Amino acid sequence: MTTRHKTQVAIIGGGPSGLLLSQLLNLAGIDTLILERSSREHVLSRIRAGVLESGTVKMLRQAGVYERMAQHGIPHNGCYLTDNDLMVHINFKELTGKQVLVFGQTEVTADLYAAQDAMGTEIVHGVTDVLINDLDQTRSTVEYSVEGTRKSIECRYVAGCDGFHGVSRNTIPADVRQEYERIYPFGWLGVLSQTPPANDELIYANSERGFALASMRNENLSRYYIQVPMTDKVDEWSDERFWAALKQRLPSATAESMMTGPSIEKSIAPLRSFATEPLRWGNLFLVGDAAHIVPPTGAKGLNLAVSDVFYLHGALIDAVKNNSKTGIDAYSDRALARIWKSMRFSWQMTTMLHRFDDEDSFAGQMRRATLSHLEKSETARRDLAENYVGLPY
């Protein structure tokens, strides 16, 4: 348990945002301390994102967590969008010159923990009752409890990397915060199975029965999702029921040839679009899911957290090392400019590929027309590809 009372940047949350920010600040000689609510085992047990934008790969390389990603990550030059048996290939490489890397967030987080351990950074797990004070003073304090003891740490800046259900966002006064939200009436039932992937590239499938996604983690670990009503419970979905529903939504050739097997993880994730403004309140800066949530249809969640870290790490280095406030003053607007564009893309992919219970026949026609436009128009495919591989920082 830490006995420290001071740090330069206190980071709340030991997920990918907090860990990556801490690693980049430490590499620049800035002292940090991470306060994490869960155990490390719990953080590393969460199955989340699977696709890394090229910008994310660059940032992880800059942070020194590159070897395993280079060894085990699978470069993908494209993906498929399908409507029953119509398969439209989006060739990222041809259209943008870029590719994405399939490498699980769990692996990224594990590598970041290992790098932070090697750095000797203090990460306090099992913290509760975090309270952030004096954000309008030159030095702020973060109070927290751990193993029954109340502690506090004095710091110059606080990074709120504590996800959607954290305390940071609500530390900004309600009358200062402007929140934007769209809750979708469905979730994603996700399954991990030790089976070869159904296809060499991801398939985002649209069908009368709803959305499905065929993804992967490696050549013998597949990740699948199907759209389910938010009222569904995981234990209502046997493996057999899941595989049958998935196959009905994928192109028939894929469904016939794919291998199924026992699920090793099964969970339902709700879908929402959410953003809060501003991302700064005095010495506090919101990063990643603490600031925004996107539906995973655009594979943006983790990648957007990384671009927030890109903007904030440079700003904090300037503020701490050179006492220049320019970067931190600009952080919120700079990060939000990219956040809103990714928010739009994720919303567009979600509305284009999911069925809404109250939709009329016109909506189905619009989905099919969008897909057939993508099939025929290189311009439309380039627009999708540019957003999917990641807009510039």
- Residues lying near ligand FAS in the complex (CB under 6 A) are found at 12-18, 35-38, 43, 48-50, 105, 127, 130, 161-163, 165-167, 269, 288-289, 296, 299-302, 305
- In the complex, what is the shortest distance from the CB of residue 242 to ligand PHB, in angstroms, rounded to a whole number? 15
Provide DSSP, 365-393.
Answer: HHHHHHHHHHHH-HHHHHHHHHHHH----
- Closest residue to ligand PHB, judged by C-beta, is 50
Q: Residue 130 and residue 39: Cα distance in Å, rounded?
A: 16
DSSP string computed for 141-173: EEEEEETTEEEEEEESEEEE---TTSSSGGGS-
Binding site for ligand PHB (CB under 6 A): 49-51, 202, 213, 215, 223, 296-297, 299
Q: How far is the CB of 293 from ligand PHB (least distance, A)?
A: 14
Tell me which of ligand PHB, ligand FAS, none is bound by residue 43, counting a contact when its beta carbon lies within the kind-specific cut-off of 5 to 8 angstroms: ligand FAS
Binding partner of residue 223 among ligand FAS, ligand PHB, none, CB cut-off 5 to 8 Å per kind: ligand PHB
Q: How far is the CB of 377 from ligand FAS (least distance, A)?
A: 26
Q: Which is nearer to ligand FAS, 38 or 194 (CB)?
A: 38
Q: Which does 169 bind (CB under 5 to 8 A by kind): ligand FAS, ligand PHB, none?
A: none
Q: Which is nearer to ligand FAS, 105 or 370 (CB)?
A: 105
CB within 8 A of 178, min separation 6: which ones? 276, 277, 278
Pair 294, 343: CB distance under 8 Å: yes
Which positions are catalytic?
Answer: 76, 204, 296, 300, 388
> What is the torsional sign of CA 141, 142, 143, 149?
negative
H-type helices in the chain, by residue range? 16-27, 40-45, 54-62, 67-72, 92-96, 105-119, 239-249, 252-257, 301-322, 326-353, 361-376, 378-389
Which residue's CB is nearer to ligand PHB, number 48 or number 177?
A: 48
CB of 214 to ligand PHB, least distance (A): 9
CA distance 51 to 388: 10
Q: Decide whether 221 or 269 has the Cβ nearer to ligand FAS.
A: 269
Closest to ligand FAS by CB, 57 vs 130, is 130
Shortest Cβ 362–ligand FAS spacing (Å): 30
Locate 296 and state its tokens. 């995973």
- Check whether the bond before 196 is cis (ω within 30° of 0): no
∠ Cα 367 370 374 (to 5°): 140
